[in-house]
């Protein structure tokens, strides 16, 4: 049943509706629909453009490196090059996972490919197809990618055929789960199948936080949704739209293991990319999902409840000057990067899209005394790391984050020299954030072997 939700509309007091403490900076313009943004361990934004380009952006200077042009990409209305993910152990396994649409014997399809990043030549090479022959269409192709616990999760749309979503023999209208080499995990809900969940219409956002997989999904004329994705669950489309709140929906939900959304919007907003925010740069956004919207030109904050399994409040930051907002990512120092989606979808005409940055210029996120504050060793690490603090700092809290900004470990440093067991962390690159009295004093990187 639909819940009552407290709506908190943020004060819009700066130019172009932006919250008072937020400053907007255009990082780069003249782009063609930057469809997916990922903040990489190299402090660059990795992104796809819908016309088949994979790029890497240095966010301070705005310099772009074009890493690859996938010439097999075919734009058809909403279709083209879509999702992207980086391997969690990117420092040692420099794999880039990309989704794009292509033509096979006049049939429009979707493919998931793994490329290898060559840091010496600064290009992607050695494409390896992991999954293909997914039906595609001019509309409803998905396709977000996300890696969780060494598995690749893939959202697919119903490819304009609503019956696909409930057909467990179809890859469309699903969240798929495959191993990072393209094989089918043995613990998927259906033996030999990539299906993880079904009954989806066209999911446009995914993020993993708090041990949960959150997803945003386009409705038709009603009921855009935010869901928590669970193994083997049915999300209802096309028979159930939004909540189970009509007699036929209530019956189907009970019979078919349908999981209701956390929140649904009517009229629709064209909900899109989502990410999880928990950084002191914007305290009011902490412990929230952030969501971009296409029709609404707004960044939504979805405040999570204490158990992170429901939405307790919604607030909005209008960005109407930038029109359609496609995706976002968050840097380790709390800055929010958003891409727009305003260029002609055909790929012809002017490239008018941008990547913008939201930040608080008064926030001193990285202390100018960083080198004196703390030292981390050994680096690279194997079983543990030692964080040695400057004496008399008082109570300092620490968080260890992966390349996606997800907090994997946290605690309090009570001594000058503190040893932390990191054996359970997979090999890869990690950020260590230290906070003293609510301010971020240090942001360091270490490698785990």
Question: Which H/E stretch holds residue 397?
Answer: strand 396-401
43-75 residue pLDDT tens:
899 999 999 999 999 999 999 999 999 999 999
Two tokens, residue 340: 């727009």
pLDDT number for residue 4: 47
Q: Under DSSP, is residue 25 helix (H, G, I), strand (E, B) or coil?
A: strand
Two tokens, residue 317: 């930051």
Q: Under DSSP, is residue 318 helix (H, G, I), strand (E, B) or coil?
A: strand
* pLDDT band for position 173 (cuts 50, 70, 90): very high
Q: Is the pLDDT of residue 290 over 50?
A: yes
Q: Catalytic residue positions?
A: 140
Give the mean pLDDT of 186-197. 98
pLDDT number for residue 372: 53
d(CA 294, CA 388): 46
Nearest Cα neighbor of 420 from 434, 439, 406, 438 is 434
302-352 residue pLDDT tens:
999 999 999 999 999 999 999 999 999 999 889 999 999 999 988 888 999
* pLDDT band for position 388 (cuts 50, 70, 90): confident
Two tokens, residue 262: 């956390």
Two tokens, residue 381: 């690490």
Please say whether the dihedral angle defined by the alpha carbons of residues 349, 62, 83 and 314, taken in this order, is positive or negative.
Answer: negative
User: Can you list the domains of the chain with their CATH numbers?
Assistant: 6-359 (2.120.10.30), 370-448 (2.60.40.3080)
d(CA 406, CA 427): 16
* pLDDT band for position 431 (cuts 50, 70, 90): confident
* Exposure string for 410-421, b = 16+ CB within 10 A, e = fewer: eeebeeeebebe
- Phi-psi region at 425: left, alpha or beta (left = phi > 0; alpha = psi -120 to 50): beta
Backbone angles phi, psi at 255, to 5 degrees: -80, -25
Q: Is the pLDDT higher at 443 or at 203?
A: 203
Order of strands, sheet of 64-69, starting from the edge strand that comes earlier in the sequence: 34-39, 45-49, 53-57, 64-69
179-190 residue pLDDT tens:
999 999 999 999
232-280 residue pLDDT tens:
999 999 999 999 999 999 999 999 999 999 999 999 999 999 999 998 8
* pLDDT band for position 370 (cuts 50, 70, 90): very low
* Percentage of residues in the chain having pLDDT higher than 90: 74
d(CA 257, CA 263): 18
Question: How many Å is the Cα radius of gyration of the chain?
Answer: 22
């Amino acid at each position: 049943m639909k819940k009552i939700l407290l709506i908190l509309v943020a004060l819009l007091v700066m130019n172009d509706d932006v919250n008072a403490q937020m400053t907007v900076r255009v990082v780069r313009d003249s782009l063609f629909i930057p469809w997916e943004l990922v903040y990489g361990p190299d402090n660059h934004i990795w992104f796809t453009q819908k016309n088949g380009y994979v790029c890497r952006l240095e966010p301070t200077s705005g310099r772009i490196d074009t890493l690859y042009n996938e010439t097999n990409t075919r734009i058809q209305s909403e279709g083209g090059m879509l999702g992207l993910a980086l391997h969690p152990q990117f420092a040692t396994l420099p794999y880039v996972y990309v989704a794009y649409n292509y033509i096979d014997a006049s049939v429009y399809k979707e493919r998931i490919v793994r490329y290898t990043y060559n840091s010496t030549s600064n290009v992607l090479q050695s494409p390896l197809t992991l999954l293909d022959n997914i039906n595609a269409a001019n509309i409803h192709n998905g396709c977000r990618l996300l890696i969780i616990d060494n598995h690749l999760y893939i959202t697919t749309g119903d490819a304009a055929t609503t019956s696909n979503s409930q057909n467990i023999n179809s890859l469309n209208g699903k969240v798929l789960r495959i191993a990072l080499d393209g094989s089918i995990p043995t613990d998927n809900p259906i033996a030999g199948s990539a299906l993880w969940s079904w009954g989806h219409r066209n999911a446009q956002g995914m993020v993993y936080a708090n041990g949960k997989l959150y997803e945003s999904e386009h409705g038709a004329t009603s009921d855009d949704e935010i869901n928590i994705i669970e193994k083997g669950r049915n999300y209802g489309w096309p028979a159930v739209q939004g909540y189970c709140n009509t007699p036929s929906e209530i019956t189907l939900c009970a019979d078919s293991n349908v999981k209701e959304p956390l929140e649904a919007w009517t009229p629709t907003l064209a909900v899109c990319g989502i990410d999880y925010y928990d950084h002191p740069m914007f305290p009011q956004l902490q412990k929230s999902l952030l969501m971009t919207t296409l029709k609404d030109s707004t960044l939504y904050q979805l405040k999570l409840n204490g158990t992170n399994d429901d939405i307790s409040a919604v607030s909005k930051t209008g960005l109407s000057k930038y029109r359609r907002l496609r995706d976002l990512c968050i840097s380790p120092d709390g800055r929010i990067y958003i891409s727009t989606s305003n260029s002609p979808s055909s790929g012809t005409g002017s490239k008018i899209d941008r990547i913008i940055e939201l930040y608080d210029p008064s926030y001193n996120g990285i202390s100018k005394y960083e080198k004196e504050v703390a030292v981390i060793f050994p680096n690279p690490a194997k079983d543990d790391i030692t964080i040695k603090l400057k004496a008399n700092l008082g109570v300092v809290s620490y968080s260890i984050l992966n390349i996606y900004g997800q907090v994997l470990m946290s605690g309090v440093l009570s001594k000058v020299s503190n040893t932390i067991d990191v054996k359970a962390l997979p090999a890869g690159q990690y950020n260590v954030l230290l906070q003293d009295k609510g301010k971020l004093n240090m942001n360091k990187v270490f490698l785990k072997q």
